[in-house]
Structures are given as C-alpha cells and as structure tokens.
Amino acid sequence: MVTAWAAAQRKRELMTLSYRSPPLRPMDVEIQVTHCGLCSSDLHLIDGHWGDASVYPQVCGHEVIGRISAVGENVAGLRLGQRVGVGWYRSACLACEFCLRGQEQHCPCLIATCTHGEHGGLANYMHCDSRFVFPIPSALSSEHAAPLLCAGVTVHTALKRATEPNMAVGIVGIGGLGHLAVQFAGKRGCHVTALSSSRHKERDALTLGAKRFVDLSEPVECKRVRNALDYILVTSSVACDWPTIIDMLRPCGTLCFAGMPPPVTFDIASMMYKTLSITTANVGGRRDILDTLDFAAARGVRPWVQSWPLEDVNQAIRQLRKGRVHYRAVMHVGKEHDPAQ
C-alpha cells in the first residue's frame, strides 16, 4: 500500500492518500522513496494552471531519490537496494525519431512523472520504467542529487550545448535554477556575471562562483556590461527590462530562457544588427541527466537545500510560494534522512 500526499482539488493543501500500486510490469521497478524535491512546477500542478495536466487527487514530485525495492522480470542493469533517481518523465517509446536521437523529452508518447494522472514522488513508494531510472553517484548526497534531476539538468544541458571555457556568461536570476546555473557555468570554465535586481543575493552569487554581480535595477551598473556577454541564461520567471538584457550581448550572442517569464516582445531589427539568437532550455534527455549527475559529482556542484520531513510538505509549499526557500526544497521520507551511500 502506498501512502502519498495529494491535492484533492485545485489550490488546496495536500492531504494523505492511500492507494495500491498497479502490478509491476516486466520493465518496471518499484522505488522506496527517501527524498523528493519540490519546485514551482509542482505548484502549477497543485493549482491547476496547466489544464488537463492536473488530475485530482494530484500527487506531485518529479525530483525523486530512493532505493529499488522490487524489479520486473526484464529489468537489466539495476539491482535491489540500489540508490536511484527519477526526473520529470518516467517513460517514452524509445523508438521514435526523437528517442533515437537521445531527445526522449520530445517523444510524442512521453509519460511525465506526475502529470495526467501519474502519481509522483511525494509518497513512500512509486513505480517507474527502469530505463528512466538513474543510478546516483556515491559522491552526491540524496538531498543534493534530487534537485539535479530537474532544475540541475535543465540549466546544465543549456550551458553544455552552447558554452565553452572562457566564454562570458550571464545568469539572470539567482534562485532555484540560477544558483545552480552559476555553479555549472563557473565549473565549465566560463566567466560568470550574475544579473539580479536583488542586491542581497550578491554575496551568494559570488560564493557560488560568479566573478561579477550586476544589479539590474541600477542603470549605471547595467551599462558597464553593454556588449560584454556571449551567452545569457534567463532562469527567472519575472519580467525584466529585456532591451537592457539584449544590450549586454556581444555580436553573435545568445539569449536562452530556462525560466518562464510573462510574454516577451523583442526589437528584431536591433537583434539583427548584432546577429543575436534567442532559444529555450528544457529538461534534457536521459544522457543529459546522466551527464549532469556525473558532472556535479566530479566537479563539486551542489544545490543549496532546505529540507523538511514529508509530513511537513504543506509548510514547505507555503515557504516555496512566498519565495522563502534558499534555494531548493527537498522532502525526506521516514526516519532515514539521507541513506548511506
């Protein structure tokens, strides 16, 4: 019997929900959950902002860490008791053009971990296709590994595809995504400028590896980085002075959105003058997840985490809604706070 925390209706606090898992399919594993991250996507699902993606009772949680407690008859490469993780999606066809390219996140048959009626990781157990379950490097604690499975892979994959050592990189927003992006960019050998209107985050940004902090609310500071950056990754979901941000890019520079701000309008003519590009980031494929975990383990990238027992999930959600989590929220299940690795 599974015990989970679920929203019974839109915008309601989570309550306990018990249900029986379906029979284990040949390629499935059962995971005894020990940790599960919370992020803004979970809030959107709880509140019903994404239409039919929310099916109530809604069990969220897509940054899941646990240990394998049962395996299907055709599972290979995973063993009972192994520490593993699950990210935004739990299955795909593995046969379409996108899956064959290693872009499983674009599969038309993609099954997300906790949308459209699938029950996520805010529970003591969950089932998942074993081919979308990832071993966790021993160098990473479970608390640190959980946020890497969604927030971490999103920003790391964007940086991996577009940056090289010695590039000048700007990170807009020092929050749940941004604090990871600063670390990944710095560890990739980039010269990182943190761009934020929250002056109190300057010390954090520099501690995380930024070489410079620019207060976006100060025009004089912004002018100092005109035509100075090769690549800007937007991790914030709030509106910015986009002409000012665009003005910071050097010729042939790129502006990439990992956060989801309100609709944006750009002056295409001014962008053409410098041959600028706009692109977006997403959660990446299976190989990207493994690369993110391995890179973080080897290079010392660690999320800054606040942790709560699962029974305090509503308290964690309230803090997340108020923007008071510094910087990722992780729930832990049962007495075992961070299992031996």
pTM over 0.85: yes
Mean pLDDT of 290-302: 98
Q: Write down the pLDDT at residue 337.
A: 46
Cβ contacts of 319 within 8 Å, gap of 6 or more: 306, 325, 329
Could you identify the residue written with the tokens 């290693």? 102
Is the Cα dihedral 337, 57, 136, 182 positive or negative? negative
Q: Is the pLDDT of residue 30 over 50?
A: yes
Three-state DSSP string of 127-172: EEEHHHCEECCCCCCHHHHHHHHHHHHHHHHHHHHHCCCCCEEEEE
Mean pLDDT of 151-179: 97
Peptide bond connecting 251 to the previous residue in cis, omega within 30 degrees of 0:
no
In this structure, are residues 142 and 33 in contact, taking their beta carbons and an 8 Å threshold? no
Domains of the chain: 2-139+300-332 (3.90.180.10), 152-280 (3.40.50.720)
Q: Write down the pLDDT at residue 338.
A: 52
- Residue 291, helix vs strand vs coil: helix
**Tens digits of per-residue pLDDT, 180-235?**
999 999 999 999 999 999 999 999 999 999 999 999 999 999 999 999 999 999 99
In this structure, are residues 226 and 236 in contact, taking their beta carbons and an 8 Å threshold? no
**Tens digits of per-residue pLDDT, 246-279?**
999 999 999 999 999 999 999 999 899 999 999 9
Q: 305-309 and 277-280: which strand pairing?
A: unpaired
Is the Cα dihedral 110, 113, 116, 117 positive or negative? positive
Q: Write down the pLDDT at residue 335.
A: 57
